[in-house]
Amino acid sequence: MRVIDSHTAGEPTRTVIEGGPDLGSGSLVERAARLEAEHIDFCASVVLEPRGHDAIIGALLVPPTRDDCVAAVIYFNNLQNLGMCGHATIGLAVTLAHLGRIDPGHHKFETPVGVVEVLLHDDANTVSVVNVKSYRLHKDVSVDVEGHGRFTGDVAYGGNWFFLVKDSPIELIAENIRPLTDLTQKIRSALEEAGVTGTDGAWIDHIELFGSSVDASANSRNFVLCPGGSYDRSPCGTGCSAKLACLAADGILEPGQEWIQESVIGSTYRISYQPGTGGGVVPKITGQAFVTSDANLVFNPADPYSKGIRP
């Protein structure tokens, strides 16, 4: 199985180029459901140890259903599929450029939650993604978090579901990744216990804490807990989209105005939005990705961990 690894602002993506499962025909939503239901061994073997690790997002290329899309992709992590993934979309664009499949310019990718527009800049490492429409569902939802007291945040959609807390009680620095992970996992459990969900009962699987940026040129710093328990090394493309929806709804950021979002490791995205039709925002995320390896995964039937180490 041929894979190309990249990182976007520090967050890794593994794109499966050849050797992935045949998901048959149908819409991308149907094929994504088939990947999750019938090909768990494939997903685990690509992203889990010993070949992968908790933070890797897999990107499976499948035939697009639309003529205007240069690629169709299903993202998956160590737990499940992801509807959209901002950092992996930037990584995918750079990967396709590395393969000579796309040139700098405008392209469209199909994802299970909709079509996203991608601008590959001339350096072939910088990418701007115009994401699916994003919106805030609830403002100021409060939950009691075991050992930490009451937390108030917004529930917003950016291609995935997020709970966004404005003022992190723990400093957002790499040295605090362990306590930040523990706290955000507890916040997520508290939301589950309180029955707080996204639209149609969707699990709020990402938690974002915000605070002041370390670099004075950035507007804010974040820590993002991902569904499988790892943290996002990048400022999280879909998390930035949810943030933009909240900034717009609060009248803090004007359409087209730029915001620089810093991650917990100090990497940045430049982000902005245009108003969405019928509400919400259409986010634009700009970041850089780099290819780190072009490899073949080897599957030996005698290897007891060939299908990944699963707890």
Q: Which residues bind ligand PYC (CB under 6 A)?
A: 11, 57, 85-87, 226, 232, 234, 236-238
Measured from the CB atom, is 19 or 53 closer to ligand PYC? Answer: 53
Measured from the CB atom, is 234 or 261 closer to ligand PYC? Answer: 234
Nearest to 68 by CA among 108, 29, 102, 105: 108
Do 131 and 160 form a contact (C-beta atoms < 8 A)?
no
Would you say the C-alpha torsion 39, 40, 41, 44 has a positive or negative sign? positive
- Under DSSP, the state recorded for 53 is -
Of 85, 226, 240, 246, which one is the catalytic site residue?
85
Measured from the CB atom, is 148 or 177 closer to ligand PYC? Answer: 177
Q: How far is the CB of 4 from ligand PYC (least distance, A)?
A: 17
Dist. CA 179–CA 186, nearest whole Å: 11
Q: Is 85 labeled as catalytic in the residue annotation?
A: yes
Measured from the CB atom, is 36 or 305 closer to ligand PYC? Answer: 36
Of 226, 236, 240, 246, which one is the catalytic site residue?
236
Q: Are strands 71-76 and 57-62 parallel, antiparallel or unpaired?
A: antiparallel
Measured from the CB atom, is 168 or 263 closer to ligand PYC? Answer: 263
Do 73 and 92 form a contact (C-beta atoms < 8 A)?
yes
Q: How far is the CB of 32 from ligand PYC (least distance, A)?
A: 15
Q: Which residues, at least 6 apart from 303, have a Cβ–Cβ distance to it below 8 Å?
A: none
Apex CA 240: angle with CA 48 and CA 246, to 5°? 135
Give the count of beta carbons closer than 10 Å to the beta carbon of residue 146: 10
Q: How far is the CB of 80 from ligand PYC (least distance, A)?
A: 11
163 by Cβ neighbours in 10 Å (0-12 / 13-18 / 19+) ranks as buried
Q: Is 69 labeled as catalytic in the residue annotation?
A: no
Q: How far is the CB of 205 from ligand PYC (least distance, A)?
A: 9
HSE value, Cβ hemisphere, 13 Å, CA-based, for 184 = 33
Q: How far is the CB of 229 from ligand PYC (least distance, A)?
A: 12
- Under DSSP, the state recorded for 238 is H
- Under DSSP, the state recorded for 192 is H
Measured from the CB atom, is 260 or 305 closer to ligand PYC? Answer: 260
Q: How far is the CB of 230 from ligand PYC (least distance, A)?
A: 8
Which residues are known to be catalytic?
85, 236
